[in-house]
Amino acid sequence: MFPLASPDPGHVDPLLLLVAALALDALIGDPAALYRHVPHPVAFLGRVIAGLERRLNRGTARRRSGIVAVAIVVGLAVLAGVLLALLAERLPDGDAVTLIAVAMLVAQRSLWDHVAEVAQALEKHGLSGGRAAVARIVGRDPESLDAAGVARAAIESLAENFSDGVVAPVFWFVLLGLPGICAYKAINTLDSLIGHRSERYRAFGWAAARLDDAANLIPARLAAALIAAGAALVPGASGARAVTTAQRDAKGHRSPNAGWPEAAMAGALDLSLAGPRRYGEEIVADPWLGQGSRGATAADIRRALGLYLVACVVEAALLAALAAWRAGF
């Protein structure tokens, strides 16, 4: 079942199922009770990747071994997606398979919850609480951050993961159906776990990092556009400034993709994000994105969350409009 193909008369339009899955994820997120008994698909992927890394990340041909690991993990994910798509096509209630699978593989609600926890921790427990909360969502050294740094890190994570956790899965589902979204989640998880520039992963994680860059090339720019569109609807934010900041500053980020949503968010909220920061022993001397205030606060995290919510609604509305147009409405 490929969403861009003509809808199967025996099934709900996949674009409408996608909108319903986004709504379901927004309402319930990742149910803790369920995942106490069965592993989340991303957690399962993480175990597979960790096992391959222990076995293959050794010797002198580590880049080649990393390519093999990526091929195995992405191949398994594509196979899982194909099997799910076949079930969805053949079961009487197969649309539910698509609905549940997509809802499990997008991260709207979990992203909201994790970033909101940082704002709440800063407000209730000050810098120490904010550092503890932000350490759960970013890789940089939390002890090197002041309160403004904690707030900026949370906002940057929100912007980047809007692209990686929401827009990109949607994009690949629309393009290639369940095999596409499953493959993307595998690629993104590989990059998160082994796509680092540390000595351990520099060679082994090369293929994972490069493939993730390619998979996010279009979604990152779509995410920036959605942030800008959302900013045009949010009082106090600026869609025009989001566009000009992304166009001017995104290329300065060390990632070819993350700079786009981060710069758009910075411009929309009149903040400066990114800049120099520490990851363990490594200091990243990135330029600042945006020309606004560097003194972000918990209130700015909540402003960013409001913009994120509107951007998610804009995305869902565009998908629904496309489905309605295709249906002849």
Better-scored residue on pLDDT, 98 or 8 = 98
Which of 31-45, 60-74, 102-116, 307-321 shows the lowest mean pLDDT across its residues?
A: 31-45
Axis crossing angle, helix 259-269 with helix 217-231, rounded to the nearest 10: 10
Output the CA torsion sign for 61, 62, 63, 66: positive
- Rounded to whole angstroms, the Cα distance separating 247 from 138 reads 25
- Structure confidence at residue 107 (pLDDT): 94
* Terminal alpha carbon distance of the chain: 22
SS3 of residue 279 by DSSP: strand
What is the rounded average pLDDT for all residues in the chain? 92
Residues with Cβ within 8 Å of 92's Cβ and at least 6 positions away in sequence, in order, are: none
Strand partners of residue 279: 282
Question: How open is the CA angle 161-166-172, to the nearest 5 degrees?
Answer: 120
Per-residue pLDDT at 1 exceeds 70: no
Q: What is the pLDDT of residues 99-153, one digit of tens each?
A: 999 999 999 999 999 999 999 999 999 999 999 999 999 877 888 899 999 999 9
Per-residue pLDDT at 309 exceeds 70: yes
Query: What is the share, in percent, of the chain residues with pLDDT greater than 90?
Result: 78
- Rounded to whole angstroms, the Cα distance separating 13 from 4 reads 10
Classify residue 313 by burial, with Cβ atoms within 10 Å: 0-12, 13-18, 19+.
middle
Residue 315: both structure tokens together: 């995305």
Better-scored residue on pLDDT, 104 or 280 = 104
Residue 120: both structure tokens together: 């709440």
Question: How open is the CA angle 214-163-327, to the nearest 5 degrees?
Answer: 95
Classify residue 285 by burial, with Cβ atoms within 10 Å: 0-12, 13-18, 19+.
exposed
Q: Taking residues 26-42, what's their average pLDDT?
A: 81
Residues of 35-51 as b/e, b for ≥16 C-beta within 10 angstroms?
eeeeeebbeebbebbee
- Rounded to whole angstroms, the Cα distance separating 56 from 70 reads 11
- Structure confidence at residue 285 (pLDDT): 77
Reported as a pLDDT band with limits 50, 70 and 90, residue 215 is: very high
Per-residue pLDDT at 91 exceeds 70: yes
Residue 314: both structure tokens together: 């804009």
Reported as a pLDDT band with limits 50, 70 and 90, residue 59 is: confident
Q: Taking residues 294-298, what's their average pLDDT?
A: 96
Amino acid at 95: D
Better-scored residue on pLDDT, 326 or 233 = 233
- Structure confidence at residue 280 (pLDDT): 61
